[in-house]
């Protein structure tokens, strides 16, 4: 079974190749079969590989070398696939959730003129993500990493005739590219420090050769972190994610759930051995995570566009994952990644169903009362929102977020302040999740919702709703009866913990705050909507609302600090100021030619005088020297 590993990336890539070459000549049904089918088969292959992995007599990581990519001197970069619990979870989620999104897209994109192009990009996206997570060497990981970036660029700008979409696409590519450059330099540092770029040998050598917090460890991990911050939309590179909503909704689901944004979390989990050797950088990761989750949580509260609100919630949830990574709890981060993939894909696709029914209306204030028109969409969205808000006991989000919060509180690298940021975030999450639910599905009906979505859209929603609620039961904390399937599969064993609060106490507190958020949403958006309206009408309220709505003004800041100087410098270079030197040479030559040309008078007297003068000068030189 394990030998099938190469088909997991190969199938979506083959689907991409077929659609790219022949897509426009195929009928729609053919495109759907190839597009969704290739990812479906890839998911099946992942399942078989997982079965093969679990049923090994001696559980061990499996690697498959495909070919040697680059070989120069002692540098040898292989195209090598590496399967261990981390990459196994990642491919299962990427292909599984990816497949559901593809099925959903067959209906969502039904009337689009560029149906084949859409599926070609989507297949490439899944393929690149699988390459990323299965890569056994960092350059190959970078191949998938940039491939994912390319696909996000293509899909965000999918409806290219609107210049704004194209701009959002470019923004996504460039912002993540800035992080990627850091990551690339990090690769160089690793190569010269440890002499290899294969991930496993890298980890082993680092443990032997690096001392904790040494300059090289800090530099290398900080540079890798740059890449992760870009891809996972963390401070200060989070600005591309909200704008990435310009793409079709299934794209948002794919970017936010199964693929792109998970890449940063994956990179940090994959190289956690390196980060353990650089506690200073881990601390930075945790602080960035905490700051991001609060900033994005408040921003989500002020959005009108349903997709932008969900986008900020993604940034915020990724902040939780970084918080976990920062305290060394990488398995908790991966667990939250998994549950988040389920409920966020669900939320986006349900939102897509709403948007489609509302004729591409995305402003939540123009929606309302949709629970009667679209009951099934409502129930599935509610399941996703509950899981996002981490409502206690019945949702997957509760268990994964709880694991993060408890790790943060109990880990020596964490602490009370970081934990406090996490629980305040939990309150915000409850508030903004149910703000969306109440604005969209409750209240009076506005606008006119058309036909209900068909089975190709609804079946994935229902399946994901089940997962969003139930997937958390693979890991249940000690206080509630201890199931540790996920962390024992990851090979992580619970450490002896000591904290200012007991595990049970912190759970109750976090749960209460999440419920508090729900309660606040009930009051502010269901029972007394006047409170918010009145507050926003005051000058300070309006200012704060504007600040939050703009994502704390980062776009304006970067526009001033980075984009303006770059554009100014480039317009300075536009007319090639260095060429002026040569133009001056040309002008001198022409001037000299004109001057000397005047000497050609045609008068014999003048020439004779010249010759005589020349002879005198030459003779004088001969005599004198």
Cis check: omega of the bond before 236, within 30 degrees of 0:
yes
Q: Where are the alpha helices (DSSP H) in 114-162?
A: 115-134, 138-156
CB of 151 to other proteins, least distance (A): 11
CB of 325 to other proteins, least distance (A): 25
Exposure class string for 172-197: b at 16+ Cβ within 10 A, else e: bbebbebbbebbbbbbebbbebbebb
Give the CB-side neighbour count of residue 546, counting CA atoms within 13 A.
7
Minimum CB distance to other proteins smaller for 174 or for 483: 174
Angle at Cα 241 formed by Cα 238 and Cα 243, nearest 5°?
Answer: 120
CB of 6 to other proteins, least distance (A): 14
Q: Which one-letter DSSP state was computed for residue 452?
A: P
d(CA 91, CA 478): 29
End-to-end CA distance of the chain, in Å? 95
CB of 143 to other proteins, least distance (A): 4
Minimum CB distance to other proteins smaller for 5 or for 154: 154
Minimum CB distance to other proteins smaller for 223 or for 296: 223
CB of 433 to other proteins, least distance (A): 35
Which backbone phi and psi does 69 adopt, to 5 degrees? -80, -60
Q: Which helix (H) or strand (E) holds 76?
A: strand 75-83
CB of 93 to other proteins, least distance (A): 23
SS3 63: strand
C-beta atoms surrounding 610 within 10 Å: 12
Work out the burial of residue 87: count CB atoms within 10 Å of its CB; fewer than 13 is exposed, 13-18 middle, 19 or more buried: buried
Minimum CB distance to other proteins smaller for 176 or for 298: 176
Residue among 270, 328, 303 at smallest CA distance from 132: 270
SS3 198: strand
Minimum CB distance to other proteins smaller for 496 or for 575: 575
- By CB under 8 A, name the binding residues for other proteins: 20, 24, 67-73, 75, 117, 139, 142-143, 146-147, 150, 153-154, 157, 160-163, 166-167, 170, 173-174, 177-178, 181, 184-185, 188, 191-192, 566-567, 569-574, 576, 578-579, 581-583
Radius of gyration of the chain (CA): 30
CB of 302 to other proteins, least distance (A): 30
CB of 358 to other proteins, least distance (A): 26
CB of 136 to other proteins, least distance (A): 15
Residue among 250, 257, 247 at smallest CA distance from 169: 247
d(CA 498, CA 511): 20
Q: Which residues are within 8 A (CB) of 526 and not within 5 positions of it... i.e. 6 or more apart?
A: 438, 442, 443
Minimum CB distance to other proteins smaller for 112 or for 363: 112
Minimum CB distance to other proteins smaller for 116 or for 300: 116
CB of 211 to other proteins, least distance (A): 21
Work out the burial of residue 378: count CB atoms within 10 Å of its CB; fewer than 13 is exposed, 13-18 middle, 19 or more buried: buried
Minimum CB distance to other proteins smaller for 14 or for 174: 174
CB of 449 to other proteins, least distance (A): 31
CB of 609 to other proteins, least distance (A): 34
Minimum CB distance to other proteins smaller for 267 or for 390: 267
Minimum CB distance to other proteins smaller for 192 or for 365: 192
d(CA 310, CA 300): 7
Minimum CB distance to other proteins smaller for 111 or for 444: 111
Distance of CA 489 to the CA centre of its chain: 26
Minimum CB distance to other proteins smaller for 51 or for 188: 188
Minimum CB distance to other proteins smaller for 111 or for 161: 161
CB of 82 to other proteins, least distance (A): 18
SS3 135: strand
Q: Which one-letter DSSP state was computed for residue 363?
A: B
CB of 195 to other proteins, least distance (A): 12
Minimum CB distance to other proteins smaller for 18 or for 358: 18
Minimum CB distance to other proteins smaller for 91 or for 187: 187
From residue 103, give the alpha-carbon distance in Å to each of 33, 319, 414, 439: 10, 29, 41, 28
C-beta atoms surrounding 407 within 10 Å: 25
Q: Which residues are within 8 A (CB) of 497 and not within 5 positions of it... i.e. 6 or more apart?
A: 406, 410, 411, 503
Distance of CA 395 to the CA centre of its chain: 24
Please spell the DSSP secondary structure of 549-569, one letter per residue.
HTTTTHHHHHIIIIIHHHHHH
CB of 232 to other proteins, least distance (A): 19
SS3 195: coil
Contact yes or no for 265/232 (Cβ under 8 A): yes
């Amino acid at each position: 079974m394990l030998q099938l590993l190469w088909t997991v990336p190969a199938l979506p890539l083959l689907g991409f190749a077929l659609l790219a070459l022949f897509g426009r000549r195929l009928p729609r049904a053919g495109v759907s079969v190839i597009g969704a089918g290739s990812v479906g088969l890839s998911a099946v292959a992942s399942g078989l590989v997982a079965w093969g992995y679990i049923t090994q007599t001696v559980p061990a990581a499996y690697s498959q070398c495909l070919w040697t990519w680059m070989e120069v001197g002692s540098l040898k970069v292989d195209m090598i696939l590496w399967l261990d619990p981390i990459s196994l979870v990642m491919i299962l989620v990427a292909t599984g959730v990816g497949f559901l999104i593809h099925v959903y897209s067959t209906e969502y994109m039904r009337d689009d003129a560029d149906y084949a192009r859409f599926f070609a990009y989507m297949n490439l996206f899944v393929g690149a993500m699988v390459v990323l997570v299965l890569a056994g060497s960092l350059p190959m990981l970078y191949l998938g990493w940039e491939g994912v970036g390319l696909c996000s660029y293509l899909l965000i700008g999918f409806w290219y005739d609107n210049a704004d979409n194209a701009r959002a696409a470019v923004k996504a590519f460039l912002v993540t590219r800035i992080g990627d450059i850091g990551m690339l330099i990090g690769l160089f540092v690793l190569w010269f420090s440890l002499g290899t770029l294969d991930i496993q040998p890298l980890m082993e050598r680092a443990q032997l050769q690096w001392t904790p917090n040494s300059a090289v460890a800090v530099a290398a991990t900080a540079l890798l972190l740059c890449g992760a911050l870009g891809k996972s939309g963390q401070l200060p590179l989070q600005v591309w994610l909200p704008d990435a909503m310009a793409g079709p909704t299934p794209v948002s689901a794919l970017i936010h759930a199964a693929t792109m944004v998970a890449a940063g979390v994956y990179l940090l989990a994959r190289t956690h051995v390196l980060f353990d050797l650089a506690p200073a950088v881990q601390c930075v990761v945790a602080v960035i995570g905490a700051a991001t989750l609060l900033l994005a949580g408040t921003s989500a509260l002020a959005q009108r566009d349903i997709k932008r609100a969900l986008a900020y919630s993604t940034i915020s949830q990724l902040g939780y994952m970084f918080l976990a990574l920062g305290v060394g709890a990488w398995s908790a981060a991966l667990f939250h990644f998994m549950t988040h993939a389920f409920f966020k894909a669900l939320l986006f696709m349900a939102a897509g169903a709403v948007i489609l029914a509302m004729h591409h209306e995305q402003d939540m204030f123009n929606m309302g009362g949709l629970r009667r028109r679209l009951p099934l969409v409502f129930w599935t969205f509610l399941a996703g929102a509950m899981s996002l808000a981490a409502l206690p006991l019945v949702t997957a989000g509760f268990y994964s977020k709880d694991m993060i919060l408890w790790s943060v509180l109990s880990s020596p690298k964490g602490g009370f302040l970081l934990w406090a940021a996490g629980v305040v975030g939990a309150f915000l999450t409850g508030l903004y999740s149910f703000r969306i639910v109440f604005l969209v599905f409750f209240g009076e009906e506005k606008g006119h919702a058309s036909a209900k979505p068909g089975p190709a859209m609804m079946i994935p929603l229902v399946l994901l709703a089940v997962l969003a609620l139930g997937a958390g039961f693979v890991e249940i904390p000690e206080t509630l009866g201890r199931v540790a399937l996920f962390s024992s599969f990851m090979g992580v064993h619970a450490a002896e913990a000591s904290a200012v609060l007991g595990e049970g106490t912190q759970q109750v507190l976090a749960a209460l705050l999440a419920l508090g958020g729900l309660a606040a949403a009930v009051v502010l958006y269901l029972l007394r909507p006047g409170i918010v309206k009145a507050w926003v009408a005051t000058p300070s309220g309006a200012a704060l609302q504007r600040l939050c709505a703009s994502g704390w003004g980062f776009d304006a800041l970067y526009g001033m600090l980075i984009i303006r100087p770059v554009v100014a410098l480039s317009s300075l270079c536009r007319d090639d100021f260095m060429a002026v030197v040569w133009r001056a040479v040309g002008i001198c030559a022409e001037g000299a030619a004109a001057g000397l040309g005047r000497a050609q008078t045609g008068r014999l007297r003048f020439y004779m005088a010249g010759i005589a003068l020349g002879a005198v000068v030459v003779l004088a030189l001969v005599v004198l020297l």
